[in-house]
Amino acid sequence: MKKYIVLLSLSLFGFAQQTPAPKQTKSILILNAKAHLGNGQVIENSLISIVDGKIAAIGDATVMRVAAHDVTIDASGKHVYPGFIAPNSTLGLVEIDAVRASDDESEIGEFNPHVRSIIAYNSESKLVETTRPNGVLIAQITPRGGRIPGSSSIVQLDAWTWEDATIKVNDGIHLNWPKSYSRAGWWAEPGGIEINKNYEPQTKSIQEYFESAFAYLGSKNTKKDIPFEAMNGLQSGQKTLYINANGEKEIIDAVLFKKKNNIKNMTIVGGYYAFRVAPLLKENNVSVLLKRVHDLPLLEDEDVNLPYKNAKLLVDAGVLVGLENAGDMERMQTRNLPFYAGTCAAWGLSKEQALQLISGNTAKILGIDEQYGTLEAGKSATLFISEGDALDMKSNLISLAFIDGRNISLDSHHTELYKRYKEKFEQAKK
């Protein structure tokens, strides 16, 4: 029996992912590419110097001069982008949905702010390596389940262990706000939506928990409460409170909750109807990680294109917006993040505005913008070179990618299968 278990495990999980790249030792100069900086700006004919994992210099190649580098890359006719960032992700927490032993995305219980997703992150997940060939190089690893699932952390996606991968540990607490409505009966039944009679008690329990936690943190209690200790930093701004909410009422109540509890940094995750209360969000400095763009409307009588237009409505209102990908098959879909941004560009945003949704804007929301998210001198050299438009699935063809200046592998289980069966058909032609 043990023999069969071992064989099954090998067939399900395969072998480890590509070997992480070593630390940068040679200076690199990228010339003549069109550089999309991730802050709305573009350099048509760029020069990018990478030294010791950092962008040492960036500018117009026609006027800027630098000393000779160990490696020079002529990227004429190509595009350079900052590494894309996938927030609110369970990447690395689940390998195969149907195999319980590979699922570590949630814990039992309702209030678990002390649960740290980072220690469950599998840096050798085969799903992690599928994101890199499309330019997704950074992710926020986020727990699921319960009212407060726990604390997220931010990782780069080419590492030996979770310790090596970590960019920012315990960046925020995640809260699943109650819905003001509930669905009765089978999900496909028409008219199955009704008012959630428990909404007020549920929101009250959240308020009571936060009050107890902050009272504990403000006291000199000698008995340590680990869950309450994890709430430390929400009022000072060291941590962000990420509230999962889509409805208009829920979002308004969440903003009022922020004000009542003196929470400095808050982000709405999902935010499907956030555009209806955009002035309130802007006034209270609340950002939005918008729910998956490639989706159907929440209600059957809505504009079928609303999910595509949502980002522009919020951007035009002055709200800081990023894109997230929670939902069905979310880990496998992570690689499609740039194409969500491309759809936003097709429905009103400029290409550079759309790019910001998965680069500079998301870095600001996650609090890593001092080092990541845009191409600027002094920041991490986490970027990639694409043959074409990285937001277009037809022309997104990445030839080189760097994380902290390390030239990472773009191979994956997908590319290995492609090469294998390409060879099969080439043999058949002979």
Annotated domain spans of the chain: 19-82+374-430, 105-112+171-372
pLDDT band at residue 286, thresholds of 50, 70 and 90? very high
State the average pLDDT over residues 339-355. Answer: 97
Give yes or no on whether 19-82+374-430 and 105-112+171-372 have one common fold.
no
Taking alpha carbons only, the member of 52, 82, 155 closest to residue 357 is: 82
Task: Tell me the CB-side half-sphere exposure of residue 363, using CA atoms within 13 A.
Answer: 26
Name residue 384's beta-bridge partners.
81, 401
Check residue 192 and give its pLDDT: 67
Between 413 and 112, the more confident residue is 112
Residue whose pair of structure tokens reads 């997104």 in the numeric block: 396
Residue type, 387: E
Taking alpha carbons only, the member of 13, 69, 60, 66 closest to residue 41 is: 60
* H helical segments located in 185-247: 199-217, 226-230
**Helix pair 248-260, 199-217: axis angle to 10 deg:** 20
Check residue 427 and give its pLDDT: 87
pLDDT band at residue 414, thresholds of 50, 70 and 90? confident
Q: Under the phi-then-psi rule, with left for phi > 0, alpha for psi from -120 to 50, and beta for the rest, what region is 77?
A: left
Check residue 355 and give its pLDDT: 98
pLDDT over 90 (residue 2): no
Kindly report the number of other CB atoms within 10 A of residue 378's CB atom: 11
State the average pLDDT over residues 207-233. Answer: 93
pLDDT band at residue 102, thresholds of 50, 70 and 90? confident
Between 429 and 110, the more confident residue is 110
pTM summary value = 0.92
Check residue 387 and give its pLDDT: 96
Helix (H) / strand (E) element for 147: namely none
Contacts 24+ apart (CB under 8 A), 366-371: 366/85, 366/87, 366/140, 366/154, 366/168, 366/171, 366/240, 367/168, 367/171, 367/240, 367/265, 368/85, 368/138, 368/154, 368/167, 368/168, 368/171, 371/167
Burial 15-48 (b: 16+ CB within 10 A, else e): eebbebbeebeebbbbbbbbbbbbbeeebebbbb
Check residue 3 and give its pLDDT: 41
Domain 19-82+374-430 has CATH 2.60.40.420: no
Check residue 191 and give its pLDDT: 59
Instruction: Give the integer Cα–Cα distance in Å for 342 and 358.
Output: 10
> Do the bridges between strand 383-386 and strand 321-323 make them parallel or antiparallel, or are there none, so unpaired?
unpaired
Instruction: Give the integer Cα–Cα distance in Å for 94 and 100.
Output: 9
pLDDT over 70 (residue 8): no
Using an 8 Å Cβ cutoff, are 343 and 307 in contact? no
pLDDT over 70 (residue 189): no
Q: Under the phi-then-psi rule, with left for phi > 0, alpha for psi from -120 to 50, and beta for the rest, what region is 142?
A: beta
pLDDT over 60 (residue 13): no
C-alpha torsion 45→47→53→54, nearest 10: -100
158: Cα separation from own chain's centroid: 15
Q: Which CATH superfamily is domain 105-112+171-372 in?
A: Metal-dependent hydrolases (3.20.20.140)
pLDDT band at residue 231, thresholds of 50, 70 and 90? very high
For the stretch 359-395, pLDDT in tens is 999 999 999 999 999 999 999 999 999 999 999 999 9
Taking alpha carbons only, the member of 304, 310, 286 closest to residue 365 is: 286
DSSP conformation class of 343: H
| 177-191, 203-217, 296-310: range with lowest mean pLDDT | 177-191
| 95-99, 100-104, 186-190, 310-314: range with lowest mean pLDDT | 186-190
